[in-house]
């Protein structure tokens, strides 16, 4: 029997979203049986939005919509509280959640196609807590402790007892929201794998896990510390762009000058593409948002040059025909034009500006 072209087209879109899919066979079967499967991603509301959240996430949501997936975005306010974000102030955390939704709207996400859910609503339900306890009853303490990496902490960190609820609640979310796909970052794989095991044990609906790439910070690739599973995956988690390190992150509110200054200090050795954040941003953001990238440079250095794919750009860089300074300038120009509509929305819309001001003045903690 020939493959279903519609299913294969949708699979192709979801492979653009997922760097890792557990499993492809299950995903294909799901798409064959369901034109509009449900997926979710969850976010701790805290801090200002950086480009993984404000630019990459909307790109992925667009691909999910094209594949017929109905997306639920969970504002995990109680998770941020448990994780001591925003000084543990639930009111400020809720404001951060409203700001997050506004960022997606400013980035062009069609909010009529997205369902927004809040953990603060889920916790009002006895059935939700029953799921949390059931998950905990079927998970050992050591497995729970290993899973705390999903909250940005490792086994070396001092963990409060309340934080042990975090993995149990996240797994319970999947079944509470009744989703078919867990479409989260690769750093959340331990929770999703645990959910699949729990589902099989309890004969609940087993979710497919579609894990997207973690965008690298400006410092380049870092070695994993405090992890104990997959060295490649954990290195990617350790290297991801973190809002808690503003000089290694690009925010959707950054001015052109700030973007250029940060990129000027970014890790970008000549002819080296591996672990190079500039090459990575071109692949995962720039050439997903625009068809070409023009690098402006003086005639004595070859004049302006236009690239039509990240592969073409990478070949030019690794061959030495494109200098790191020129790559940084070209990527900076492109990123500035991409974040400009978001930045301007928060400057021109009074309700958005109030949310932005509240976030700027709020105390944030890791």
Domain for residue 44, yes or no? yes
CATH number at residue 352: 1.10.240.10
The number of distinct structural domains making up the chain is: 2
Domain match, 284 and 139 both: no
- Whole-number pLDDT of residue 2: 46
Report the distance separating Cα 315 and Cα 271, nearest Å: 9
When pLDDT is averaged across residues 23-42 and rounded to a whole number, the result is 96
Residues 6+ apart with CB under 8 A from 285: 51, 55, 56, 59, 215, 335, 338
Domain for residue 224, yes or no? no
Q: How many CB atoms lie within 10 A of CB 304?
A: 12
In the structure, what pLDDT confidence band is assigned to residue 302 with cuts at 50, 70 and 90? confident
Domain match, 163 and 53 both: yes
Domain for residue 96, yes or no? yes
Domain match, 275 and 213 both: no
Domain match, 45 and 105 both: yes
CA dist 298 → 124, 270, 314, 334 (Å):
62, 19, 21, 18
Domain match, 205 and 308 both: no
Domain for residue 366, yes or no? no
Last residue within a domain, chosen from 218, 233, 258: 218
In the structure, what pLDDT confidence band is assigned to residue 154 with cuts at 50, 70 and 90? low
Closest-CA residue to 176 (of 114, 117, 222, 104): 117
Domain match, 45 and 175 both: yes
Domain match, 197 and 270 both: no
Domain for residue 228, yes or no? no
Domain for residue 337, yes or no? yes
Domain for residue 231, yes or no? no
CATH number at residue 126: 3.40.50.620
User: pLDDT digit string (tens) for 165-204?
Assistant: 999 999 999 999 999 999 999 999 999 999 999 999 999 9
User: pLDDT digit string (tens) for 199-235?
Assistant: 999 999 999 999 999 999 999 887 665 544 554 556 6
Domain match, 136 and 271 both: no
Task: Please report how many Cα atoms fall inside a 13 Å half-sphere around the Cα of residue 345, on the Cβ side.
Answer: 18
Report the distance separating Cα 64 and Cα 12, nearest Å: 11
- Whole-number pLDDT of residue 157: 66
Domain for residue 164, yes or no? yes
Biggest CA–CA distance in the chain, Å, is 70
Domain match, 35 and 115 both: yes
CA dist 12 → 114, 181, 192, 291, 292 (Å):
21, 16, 22, 19, 22
Is the pLDDT higher at 225 or at 293?
A: 293
Mean model confidence pLDDT for the chain: 91
Q: What percent of the chain has pLDDT over 70?
A: 93
Domain match, 42 and 101 both: yes
Domain match, 129 and 191 both: yes
Domain around 138: 5-218
Rounded to 5 degrees, what angle do the CA atoms 25, 28, 31 make?
150
Domain match, 62 and 198 both: yes
- Whole-number pLDDT of residue 331: 97
Last residue within a domain, chosen from 175, 202, 218: 218
- Whole-number pLDDT of residue 238: 76
Checking if the pLDDT of 30 tops 50, the result is yes
């Amino acid at each position: 029997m020939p493959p279903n072209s519609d299913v294969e087209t949708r699979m192709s879109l979801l492979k653009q979203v997922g760097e890792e899919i557990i499993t492809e066979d299950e995903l294909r079967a799901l798409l064959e049986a369901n034109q509009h499967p449900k997926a979710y991603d969850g976010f701790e509301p805290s801090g200002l939005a950086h480009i993984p959240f404000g630019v990459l996430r909307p790109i992925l949501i667009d691909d999910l919509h094209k594949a017929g997936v109905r997306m639920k975005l969970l504002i995990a306010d109680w998770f941020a509280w448990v994780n001591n974000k925003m000084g543990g102030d639930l009111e400020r955390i809720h404001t951060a959640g409203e700001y997050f939704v506004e960022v997606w709207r400013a980035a062009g996400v069609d909010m009529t196609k997205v369902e927004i859910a809040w953990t603060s609503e889920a916790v009002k339900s006895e059935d939700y807590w029953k799921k949390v306890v059931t998950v905990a009853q079927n998970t050992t303490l050591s497995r729970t402790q290993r899973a705390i990496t999903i909250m940005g902490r490792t086994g070396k960190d001092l963990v409060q007892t309340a934080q042990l609820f975090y993995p149990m609640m996240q797994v319970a979310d999947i079944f509470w929201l009744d989703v078919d796909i867990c479409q989260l970052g690769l750093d959340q794989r331990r929770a999703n794998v645990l959910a699949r095991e729990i589902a099989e044990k309890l004969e609940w609906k087993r979710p497919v896990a579609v894990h997207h790439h973690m965008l690298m910070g400006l410092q380049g690739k870092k070695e994993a510390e405090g992890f104990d599973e997959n060295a490649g995956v954990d290195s990617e988690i350790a290297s991801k762009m973190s809002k808690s390190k503003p000089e290694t992150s690009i925010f959707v509110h950054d001015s052109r000058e700030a973007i250029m200054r940060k990129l000027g200090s970014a890790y970008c050795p000549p002819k080296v593409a591996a672990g190079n954040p500039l090459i990575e941003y071109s692949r995962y953001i720039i050439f997903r948002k625009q068809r070409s990238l023009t690098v402006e440079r003086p005639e004595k250095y070859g004049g302006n040059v236009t690239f039509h794919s990240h592969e073409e750009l990478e070949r030019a860089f690794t061959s030495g025909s494109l200098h790191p300074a020129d790559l940084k300038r070209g990527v900076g120009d492109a990123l500035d034009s991409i974040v400009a509509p978001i930045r301007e929305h928060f400057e021109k819309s009074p309700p958005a500006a109030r949310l932005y001001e509240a976030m700027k003045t709020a105390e944030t903690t890791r």
